[in-house]
Amino acid sequence: MEKPEIDVSIYLRGDELQPEHVSQVLGVQPTQFQTKGGPTSHSTKVIAKIGVWALYAQTDSIEISDHIDELLKMIGNPITPLDEIDGVEEAYLDVFISSSDENDARKTVEFVISKDQLKELVRLGLCGHFTVS
């Protein structure tokens, strides 16, 4: 069985979101960002329909909790919950898991988010988006 693809990120999104302001409030530079009406992070030819500030976990671990711990350490202890930063309309932890094992029709995905991690995510004003494919 091959190692699954795992991406865990924090996303802040909003029509009026200004990535520079978010970075200033948090004291953290994003992995990816875009401003509504400007170019997207993926193409200078495509115009962004919404502002985005995103922070990606970089660990190679297959444990989701390791990814979350890394992001929590990166984000630190901001005074303002992320969902209350000016311009933020949506704030969430995004977890994406994909198995590349095409021979296994029955796939089981299991992961743990600790009580401490859940408390910290709630304190930060984050909900969760989970995709398993």
Instruction: Write the CA distances from 56 to 105, 107, 108, integer angstroms.
Output: 29, 25, 24
pLDDT tens-place string over residues 50-66: 999 999 999 999 999 99
Q: pTM of the full predicted structure?
A: 0.90
Gap between the Cα atoms of 100 and 104, Å rounded: 9
Mean pLDDT of 31-59: 85
Contact assessment for residue 84 and residue 12, using Cβ atoms and an 8 Å cutoff: no
Domain boundaries, the chain: 5-132
Contact 125, 82 (CB under 8 A): yes
Average pLDDT, the chain: 90
